Amino acid sequence: MSQSQTAIEELAGRPLTTLSEDEQMFRASVREFAEGELRPRVEEMDEKGKLDPALIKQCFDLGLMGIETPDEFGGAGSSFFTAILAVEELSRVDASVGVLVDVQNTLVNNALIRWGNQEQKEKYLPELASDKVGAYALSEAGSGSDAFAMQTRAVDRGDHYLLNGQKLWITNGNEAEIFVLFANANPEAGYRGITAFIVEKNFEGFSVGKKENKLGIRASSTTELILADCKVPKENVLGEAGKGYKVSIETLNEGRIGIGAQMIGITRGALDAAIAYTGERQQFGKSINQFQGVQFQLAEMATQLEAARLMVYNAARMKDAGLNFVKEAAMAKLYSSRAAERVSSLAIELYGGYGYVKDYPVEKYWRDSKIGAIYEGTSNMQLQTIAKLIIGGKQ
């Protein structure tokens, strides 16, 4: 019996949101950390636009930065679904920390686990599991949705490549020490010249540029990277030269489920806050959650959360089962980002004037939600992916 068949049979007859005992214990431990250590820091980190270094260290100490990484490389050796649970629980309290853990696991570690050779895995995966933050560098000023229009170039110099160009919108840019970075080593071949590289922060010719001042996920650093004759050893090519387009596409398919988890975490946080506040707020002699109009809004919010959660969990389970999950990942990211924005906006309205000020949490959930429609593939790009697959008969 194949691994895929086994995974499917294990899920048969129980809801997607039902967790195994180990998954329940893991979720509880992440929630305890998020409530005890993360929540007291959220406001200050948001105001300063910077993650607390002590909190990042705790994420490493708890094993949250190498969830899927095999035991032999110092990781937890767990499932992709477990990583999704971590991102959701962290994002319920602060999406900035959620995306730190998300990028580390679903993009950087995933790319190395899948495409790295043995030497690369032995060198970088233990560091990424223990104390070094990673980042994924694909986007450029003129290369966002059209990722293959990148202008960063790599020139073969025998035992090394020289990289020149500029990357933008790089999550974890300030904290990261290891970058999965893409450059075109053969522009005449178009996208077939794109190559993935493992770049270390201390490499000659590499520097971190401007940090963006953002609407939401403010504590998460989003930066420019500058490559000026950046010298990268030839052994740091990730996968095959000219196959970087394949590395990027397949890694981002998995990363979209991670963003979906971030969005359902935001949705949960906003809904929890709204339920608590409407039970406390008194108007006309009773709690406002006793009014049918408010109850209907809470019911709509809860329904959107459940639908988004089911889609994200389904895509994650399919990935772990070895099934084709591209359409499901695109749908999960699309719907969950919309749900997060709608639910957090409604939460602000339920809070009234208090919802619009920073003394209360819901305005931050709304600010954090907006990025879900933009990064790791805009909503329009998700719609395009879904349409191509259903029109092509791959429902």
Q: Over the stretch 238-292, which tens digit does the pLDDT of each residue have?
A: 999 999 999 999 999 999 999 999 999 999 999 999 999 999 999 999 999 999 9
Q: Residue 182 to residues 119, 343, 377: CA-CA distances in angstroms?
A: 20, 36, 16
Please provide the average confidence, as pLDDT, over all residues in the chain. Answer: 95
- Domain end, chosen from 217, 242, 267, is at 242
- Domain end, chosen from 92, 112, 133, is at 133
Q: What average pLDDT does range 307-321 have in this prediction?
A: 97
Q: Which residues of 96-221 form beta strands (DSSP E)?
A: 133-137, 153-156, 160-171, 176-184, 194-200, 206-211
What is the set of active-site residues? 376
At 148, the pLDDT band (50, 70, 90 cuts) reads confident
- Domain end, chosen from 184, 211, 242, is at 242
Statement to judge: residues 275 and 232 lie in one domain: no
Statement to judge: residues 292 and 366 lie in one domain: yes
Statement to judge: residues 113 and 143 lie in one domain: no
Domain count of the chain? 3
Q: Over the stretch 195-223, which tens digit does the pLDDT of each residue have?
A: 999 999 999 999 999 999 999 999 999 99
3-state class (DSSP) for residue 287: strand
* CATH classification at residue 318: 1.20.140.10
Integer Cα distance of 342 and 340 in angstroms: 6
Residue 41, judged by CB atoms within 10 A of its CB (0-12, 13-18, 19+), counts as middle
Please state, as a whole number, how many other Cβ atoms lie within 10 Å of the Cβ of residue 64.
Answer: 26
Owning domain of residue 343: 246-391
pTM assigned to the model: 0.95
User: Dihedral sign, CA of 100, 117, 183, 194?
Assistant: negative
What's the pLDDT score for residue 11? 54
Statement to judge: residues 254 and 381 lie in one domain: yes
What's the pLDDT score for residue 15? 73
